[in-house]
Amino acid sequence: MCMCCCADVHVYVLKRVSMTMRVCVCRGLGRQASLMWFNILGFWAVGFTTGYTLTFRLHWGLPGVWWGILSGVMVTGQYLSKPCNDAEPV
């Protein structure tokens, strides 16, 4: 495995852990419906389209897949940080 793929995997794991904690907080606060929409927007609208574009249109190969997934995780994590940080329990 090339070094660029290893670096992508490490960044992905760190971002994924952060997002997983935010998901658990939103679930605990009873925000499952908003969580669903954030995941659809982040992973499918941003992550899938970015991964497809980088992998197939720009011919990045495997790093394009990882950067697409990472972009979905980052966008979803950003969306999750606002409504769950200042939310009151339902």
Each residue's pLDDT tens digit, 16-57: 777 777 788 788 888 888 888 888 999 999 999 999 999 999
Quick check: is 68 in a domain?
yes
Quick check: is 7 in a domain?
no
Q: Quick check: helix, strand or coil at residue 88?
A: coil
Quick check: is 52 in a domain?
yes
How many domains does the structure of the chain reveal? 1
Output the pTM of the full model: 0.70
Quick check: is 69 in a domain?
yes
Residue 6 has pLDDT above 90, yes or no: no
1: confidence class by pLDDT, cuts 50, 70, 90:
very low
Quick check: is 46 in a domain?
yes
Q: What's the domain range around 59?
A: 33-82
Distance from C-alpha of 61 to C-alpha of 21, rounded to nearest angstrom: 30
